[in-house]
Amino acid sequence: MIELRHLRYVIAAAERGSFRRAARTLGVQESAVSRRIRDLELRIGATLFARHHGGVDLTFAGECFLAQARRALDQIDCAASEAATLGRGEAGTIRIGILHSLACGFLPDLLRAYISAHPVVRPELVEGSPATHIAALQKRDLDVAFLAGTPSAEGCEFAHLWDEPLFVVMPSEDTLARKRKITWDELRDRRFIVSETELGPEIRAYLVKNLAEPGYRPAIERHAVSRDNLMSLVALGQGLTLTSEALIAVRFPGVAYRRLCSQILPFCAIWLPENDNPALRRFLSLACSMTRTKPAATSILTRSDREQQCGRGGADVPGGVADRCLQIGLRDAAPARFAFANPRSVAMNR
C-alpha cells in the first residue's frame, strides 16, 4: 500500500538530489528515507532513483512518478483545506425555507448579516407552506425553515426568534380605512379571505380563536391563490384578511393596511437537531444573537405554551421573551451561546 509519506519522501529526494538532504528537510533519519523509497520501488516494480556517490537522480520512471505524486498531494491538500473550511461553516450551502416576502423585517436583516459574515456560504431560499417545509426538513431537503406560530413537527427543534404586529388588509375605500388602528369588535360580522398557502392556515386559526363565540363562527373563505392574487381579491371587495408587518412593505393598488390593536404574531426557526451542517449551526448562532421580540398584550402562544417553553408562568418582560427561557444547543457553533435542550419546544434567550 502506497502511503502519503512515500510520496513526500520521493518529492523531497528529487528536489534535494540526496536522501541525506531530504531526510534533514523532513526531520527524519536518512535510513528511513532510503528504506521507504526502496520499499516503494519494490512495490511498484520500477526504479525511481539512480543512486551515486554524490546523491540521487530521477530515472525516467521516477520523473513520471514525481509529476503524478505532486498532483496527488496537491489534490489531497486541497481536499483537506476544503473539508476544514466546510467543517468550520465558512463555506458550503444552507437551504432555508421561507413563507413570504423578504422585503423587510428580521429575516432579511438576518440573511444580510449572515451573507456579510460568511460570503462563501451560499444560501438557497425555498418558498412554501408550513407543511411543505416541515416535510422537507424531515427528509433533510431543508436545513432550517422560518414559520409563524409554534409549529409541531416530529423530531424537530424550534426556537421563537421574533414577533411581528398584525395588520388588517382591506379595500382602500372601506370605512375601516379611515381609522389608524382596528379592534376585534370592529371586525365582527365581516367576511375574511385567506390563502391556502403561506400564512393562510395560521391566519385562519387566529381569526377563529379571536372572533368565534358560542353560536357564531367568523365567515372565512379559503382561496388557492398566491399572496399577490389574494391582495387583488381584497381590493375587489371579496373580503378582508390579516398580514404580518414584514409584508406591508409591498404595496398593492386599492389595498389599505391598518394595525390590529395589540396583536402580535410570533415567528420561529425550526430544524432537525441531528443536522450536522456547520453552516446551519453558525446561522442559528447568529439568529440567536440578533433575536428581537416586541412586547405584546396578546400572542398566539398560549399560557401553557409559554410555561412549557420557559419553565415558568410565561410573564412577559421587555423584549417580549420570558426570562429564564431554555436555551438551544448548537455543537461547535461560534460563538457558543447555547446548548441543546431536551424539550422539542424551546425559546431563545435574548
pLDDT of amino acid 340: 29
Q: pLDDT confidence of 339, banded at 50, 70, 90?
A: very low
Residue 243 has pLDDT above 50, yes or no: yes
Residue 293 has pLDDT above 60, yes or no: no
Over residues 136-168, the pLDDT tens digits come to 999 999 999 998 887 778 889 888 898 889 999
Cell of 133: 417545509
Q: pLDDT confidence of 309, banded at 50, 70, 90?
A: very low
Residue 248 half-sphere exposure, CB side, CA atoms within 13 Å? 18
Q: pLDDT confidence of 1, banded at 50, 70, 90?
A: confident
DSSP conformational letter for 187: G
Residue 183 has pLDDT above 90, yes or no: yes
What is the percent of the chain with per-residue pLDDT over 90, rounded to a whole number?
A: 37
pTM tops 0.95: no
Residue 308 has pLDDT above 60, yes or no: no
Higher pLDDT, 139 or 103: 139
CA distance 36 to 43: 10
Higher pLDDT, 112 or 86: 112
Q: Other C-beta atoms within 10 Å of 174: how many?
A: 18
What is the mean pLDDT of the segment spanning 129-135?
87
The alpha-helical segments, DSSP class H, found in the chain are 4-16, 19-26, 30-44, 60-87, 106-117, 130-138, 200-211, 227-235, 278-290, 303-310
Coil, strand or helix at 46: coil
pLDDT of amino acid 170: 95
Over residues 3-23, the pLDDT tens digits come to 788 889 999 999 999 999 999
Instruction: Classify strands 92-98 and 121-127 as parallel, antiparallel or unpaired.
Output: parallel
Domains and CATH numbers, the chain: 4-87 (1.10.10.10), 92-162+265-347 (3.40.190.10), 164-263 (3.40.190.10)
pLDDT of amino acid 86: 63
pLDDT of amino acid 259: 94
Higher pLDDT, 349 or 257: 257
Average pLDDT value for the chain: 78
Over residues 184-231, the pLDDT tens digits come to 999 998 999 998 876 787 888 889 988 988 888 999 999 988 888 999
pLDDT of amino acid 89: 52
